[in-house]
């Protein structure tokens, strides 16, 4: 089942509650219903770039392979 409100939207709500009602980050997180760690989380978007490049080249070389066979081929 899909979540009704995404974490990014909840982070914006935390910011709104913090500044509009002059409360701490911890209290605003509690009001919105997320943990402090979810509020502070910053995803590393470039972490998998090298792996994605290798996979894309392998898909071009072996277009008929499925994931399992492609994974085994790359593992060698």
> Which residues make Cβ contacts (< 8 Å) with residue 26, sequence separation at least 6?
36
pLDDT tens string 24-43: 999 999 999 899 999 999 88
- Whether 76 shows a pLDDT value over 80: the answer reads no
The pLDDT confidence band at residue 1, using thresholds 50, 70 and 90, is: very low
Domain ranges of the chain: 7-40, 45-75
Nearest Cα to Cα of residue 7 among 41, 31, 30: 41
Is-above-0.75 flag for pTM? no
Question: Cα(11)–Cα(33) distance, rounded to whole angstroms?
Answer: 10
Positive or negative: CA dihedral 29, 34, 37, 40: negative
């Amino acid at each position: 089942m899909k979540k009704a409100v995404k974490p990014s939207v909840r982070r914006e709500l935390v910011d709104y509650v913090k500044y509009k009602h002059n409360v701490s980050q911890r209290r605003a997180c509690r009001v919105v219903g997320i943990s402090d760690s979810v509020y502070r989380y910053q995803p590393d978007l470039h972490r998998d770039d090298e792996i994605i490049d290798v996979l894309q080249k392998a898909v071009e070389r072996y277009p008929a392979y499925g994931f399992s066979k492609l994974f085994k081929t790359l593992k060698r």
